[in-house]
Amino acid sequence: MSRHERVQKILSSHGITSRRNAEKLILEGRVFVNGERASLGQTADPENDSITVDGALLKSKSKPVYLMLNKPVGYLTTASDDRGRKTVMDLVTDVSCRVYPVGRLDINSTGLLLFTNDGEFANKVMHPSYNKHKTYIVEVSGDVDKAADLMRKPVKIDDHAVLAISVESSGKNDQGGILKIVVSEGRNRQVRKMCAACGVVVKSLKRTSIGSLELGDLKNGKWRFLTDDEVYEVYGQI
């Protein structure tokens, strides 16, 4: 029984790339269906049609895999590094199939990082339209109460105004304290830049949740598979 789907969805569901980037690949003429260049919006049957990307034949769809890692300091969030630095992929080498990180945490940040081979899942986590709130616990030096007050209003970073969903301060001392910052956007180093713009210096930054997914007591440097309920919640929240 044939089952036709849009080519960009097929590439995404096979874990090749996100749907948005799949559309770019098609527009660049890098995707072929049965030997002919694919067009945007074209449909195909992934079981019976020959689909290639940059000349490589699309393989049968792998079983979808979803996991979370408690990322330590000192690891790049990338699949590989030409300078030989440690990457988060070094921490998930015992996964039975190839997965890739969903979104990013910079090298000095820790906490919840998701991995999958399901492009549709990755898109639902990352794309701003799905409004997945992300929670960060940030140890800072400086006036935490003043910074919290400033962050409750729009903060300009990189010529763009961003607004936190919520900001709480705690653990205050003469040197600084703790900020719990919840944001919905995922701009590059957004939380660090917000802190800098509000006069505090980040000493440590840890992401503890993405949407309904909680890091919980997962140990530093360790990973676990998501439960079926957790995967369902990501899809079901849309």
| Residues catalogued as catalytic | 106
Please give the Cα distance from 7 to 13 (Å, whole number). Answer: 10
Tokens representing 194 are 């917000």
- Cα distances (Å, whole numbers) of residue 138 to 33, 42, 70: 48, 46, 16
Asked if residue 112 lies in contact with residue 226, where contact means CB atoms within 8 angstroms, the answer is no
Residue whose token pair is 């999958």: 116
Please give the Cα distance from 238 to 231 (Å, whole number). Answer: 12
171: left (phi over 0), alpha (psi -120 to 50) or beta: left
